[in-house]
C-alpha cells in the first residue's frame, strides 16, 4: 500500500523529460461531484496521473470553470466538463473508473449517517446512470455514509442486472492515510515507509486500524498509545470537521487518498501485479456482506479479498464491537435502494 501516487507523479515528470517508453492503454476517468471541495483537487491530481488519457468532470454546477482551469495543465489527459442531468450520460460513456465525491459533507455535531437523507438519493441517481452508461466501470464511492452508499449502489446495479461485486469499492483510503501518519508520528518512524491496514467500515468505531500489523514494527508504543492512535484514526474525520468549524469536512487529504486509490485501480486494470489497497467491498471475511479489508486489484477490479491476518486481543474486541453498527448501516442502504 505504498503511495503509488507519488510514483505516478514522478513517472509523469520522467515522461515530460522524454525518458518513458511504456505505452499504457487509454483510460477514461470520470469524477461525479467534480466542482466540490474534494472534486476540484481530485480533478487536479487525476489530471497529473499519466495513466489517465481522458478526464471527465461532472457536477450539477460549476464544472465549466473547473474543467477550463484544469485543462490548461500540460499533462496528457484530455479534460472535459459536463453539467446537469442532460450531460451525465456523455460524461460517463466509456469510463474505466468512476469516482463519486458528490453530496453534502458534515458540519460539527453531525454523524456521517446524518448525511444519509440527502446523499442516499444522489448516490442512487448516479448509480442508475452508471448502470446505463458505463456498466463495466470500476466505481470508487467516496460519498458518505460509505457504509450505506456502497450497498445502495450494489442494489441499484443488481436491479439493473449490471452488478459485478469486483467493481464496486467504498473508498476508505483516507483512514489508511491517517493511520499511517499518526502511527509514524508516535512511533518515530519515516512516514513514507509505514503500512497499516485499516478494516471494517468508514464511520467511528467501524473504522478499525490494525496497528499490531503496522510496519515498520515499533517496540516503543504502549497499549495506551495504541488505544489513543486507534481513537484518533476513528475520529480523524471529526477532527477535521471541527477544525473547519462549519466549512465542511476533509477535502485535500481526501482528494489525495482518492487519487491514491484511483491510481491503484488503474494500475490493476493495466495488469500491474501486486496492487493491494484497503477498501470497503462485498466480502466473506466476516459474516457481514460488505467489509473493508486489504484487497488485491487486477484487470477486472477485485482479484482477491484478503483476510484479516492475526489480530491482537484489543483488535478482536474492536472487530466484535463494530459489527452491530456496520450491519445496521448496510441494511439501511439496502432498504433505501429497494424502498424508493
Binding of residue 251 to ligand LMR (CB under 6 A) = no
Stretch touching ligand LMR by CB under 6 A, among 49-57, 79-87, 93-101, 232-240: 232-240
Rounded to the nearest whole angstrom, what is the least distance from the CB of residue 283 to ligand NAD in the complex?
Answer: 17
Scanning the structure block, which residue is given the C-alpha cell 483476510? 307
Residue 140 touches which of ligand LMR, ligand NAD, none (Cβ within 5-8 Å per kind): none
Tell me which stretch binds ligand NAD (CB under 6 A): 15-23, 75-83, 143-151, 268-276. 143-151
∠ CA(126), CA(53), CA(173), 5° rounding?
Answer: 55
- Out of 27, 28, 106, 167, the only residue in the binding site for ligand LMR (CB under 6 A) is 106
How far apart are the C-alpha atoms of 317 and 319, rounded to whole Å?
5
174 vs 297, which CB is nearer to ligand NAD?
Answer: 174
What is the dihedral sign for C-alpha 270, 102, 135, 302?
positive
Q: Which residues pair with 72 in a beta bridge?
A: none
Examine the residue annotation and report whether 72 is marked as an active-site residue of this protein: no
3-state helix, strand and coil shares in percent for the chain, rounded to the nearest 5? 50, 15, 35
> Which value, to the nearest 10 degrees, does the dihedral of the CA atoms of residues 233, 118, 286, 279 take?
-60
Q: Site mask, ligand NAD, residues 16-45, x = CB under 6 A? A: ----------------xx-xxxxx------
Residue 300, annotated as binding a ligand: no
Measured N-to-C along each axis, helices 116-133 and 313-339 cross at an angle, to the nearest 10 degrees, of 70
Q: Near ligand LMR by CB under 6 A, which window of 31-39, 105-113, 119-127, 304-312?
A: 105-113
Q: How far is the CB of 337 from ligand NAD (least distance, A)?
A: 16
User: Is residue 234 within the footprint of ligand NAD (CB under 6 A)?
Assistant: no
Q: Which of ligand LMR, ligand NAD, none lies near 241, with the C-beta cut-off 5 to 8 A by kind?
A: ligand LMR
Residue 101, binding choice from ligand LMR, ligand NAD, none, Cβ under 5 to 8 Å by partner class: ligand NAD
Residue with cell 466538463: 81
**What is the x/- site pattern for ligand LMR, positions 166-205, by CB under 6 A?**
--------x-------------------------------
Nearest alpha-carbon partner for 81 in 63, 97, 99: 63
- For cell 445502495, name the residue: 152
240 binds, among ligand NAD, ligand LMR, none (CB under 5 to 8 A by kind): ligand LMR
Q: Which of 258, 267, 268, 269 is nearest to 43 (CA)?
A: 258
Among 57, 83, 174, 302, binds ligand NAD (CB under 6 A): 174
Residue 102 touching ligand NAD (CB under 6 A): yes
Q: Is residue 122 within the footprint of ligand NAD (CB under 6 A)?
A: yes
- What Cα–Cα distance (Å) separates residue 174 from each residue in 10, 96, 135, 310? 22, 22, 26, 23
CA distance 309 to 198: 12
Q: Which of these segments, 72-80, 147-155, 234-242, 290-298, binds ligand LMR (CB under 6 A)? A: 234-242
- How would DSSP label each residue in 109-153? T--GGGGHHHHHHHHHHHHHHHHHH-TTSEEEE-SS-HHHHHHHH
Residues sharing a CB contact under 8 Å with residue 313, sequence separation 6 or more, in sequence order: none
Cα–Cα distances (Å) from 242 to 4, 108, 235, in that order, read 30, 5, 11
Among 67, 240, 250, 233, which residue's Cα sits nearest to residue 142?
A: 250
Residue among 9, 24, 56, 144 that touches ligand NAD (CB under 6 A): 144
In the annotated binding site for substrate, the residues are 106, 112, 144, 178
Interface residue list for ligand NAD (CB under 6 A): 32-33, 35-39, 59-61, 101-106, 115, 119, 122, 125-126, 142-144, 146, 171, 174, 202, 248-251, 254
Interface residue list for ligand LMR (CB under 6 A): 105-106, 112, 144, 174, 236-237, 240-241, 249-250
Amino acid at each position: 500500500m505504498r503511495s503509488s501516487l507519488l510514483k505516478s507523479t514522478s513517472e509523469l515528470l520522467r515522461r515530460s523529460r522524454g525518458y518513458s517508453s511504456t505505452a499504457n492503454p487509454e483510460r477514461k476517468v470520470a469524477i461525479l461531484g467534480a466542482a466540490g471541495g474534494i472534486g476540484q483537487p481530485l480533478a487536479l491530481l487525476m489530471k497529473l496521473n499519466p495513466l489517465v488519457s481522458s478526464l471527465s468532470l461532472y457536477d450539477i454546477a460549476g464544472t465549466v470553470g473547473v474543467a477550463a482551469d484544469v485543462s490548461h495543465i500540460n499533462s496528457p489527459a484530455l479534460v472535459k466538463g459536463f453539467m446537469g442531468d442532460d450531460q451525465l450520460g456523455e460524461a460517463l460513456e466509456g469510463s474505466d473508473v468512476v469516482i463519486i465525491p458528490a453530496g453534502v459533507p458534515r458540519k460539527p455535531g453531525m454523524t456521517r449517517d446524518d448525511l444519509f437523507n440527502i446523499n442516499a438519493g444522489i448516490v442512487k441517481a448516479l448509480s442508475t446512470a452508471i448502470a446505463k452508461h458505463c456498466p463495466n466501470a470500476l466505481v470508487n464511492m467516496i460519498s458518505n455514509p460509505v457504509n450505506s452508499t456502497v450497498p445502495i449502489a450494489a442494489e441499484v446495479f443488481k436491479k439493473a442486472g449490471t452488478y459485478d461485486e469486483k467493481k464496486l469499492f467504498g473508498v476508505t483510503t483516507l483512514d489508511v492515510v491517517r493511520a499511517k501518519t499518526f502511527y509514524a508520528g508516535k512511533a518515530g518512524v519515516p512516514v513514507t515507509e509505514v503500512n497499516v491496514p485499516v478494516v471494517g467500515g468508514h464511520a467511528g468505531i467501524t473504522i478499525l486500524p490494525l496497528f499490531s500489523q503496522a510496519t515498520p514494527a515499533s517496540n516503543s508504543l504502549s497499549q495506551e498509545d495504541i488505544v489513543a492512535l486507534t481513537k484518533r484514526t476513528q475520529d480523524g474525520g471529526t477532527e477535521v470537521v471541527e477544525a473547519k468549524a462549519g466549512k465542511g469536512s476533509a477535502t485535500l487529504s481526501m482528494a489525495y487518498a482518492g487519487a491514491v486509490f484511483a491510481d491503484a485501480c488503474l494500475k490493476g486494470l493495466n495488469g500491474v501485479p501486486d496492487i493491494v489497497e484497503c477498501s470497503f467491498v462485498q466480502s466473506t471475511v466476516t459474516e457481514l456482506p460488505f467489509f473493508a479489508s486489504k484487497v488485491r486489484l487486477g484487470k477486472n477490479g477485485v482479484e482477491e479479498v484478503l483476510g484479516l491476518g492475526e489480530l491482537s486481543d484489543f483488535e478482536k474486541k474492536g472487530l466484535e464491537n463494530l459489527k452491530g453498527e456496520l450491519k445496521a448501516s448496510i441494511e439501511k442502504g439496502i432498504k433505501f435502494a429497494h424502498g424508493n
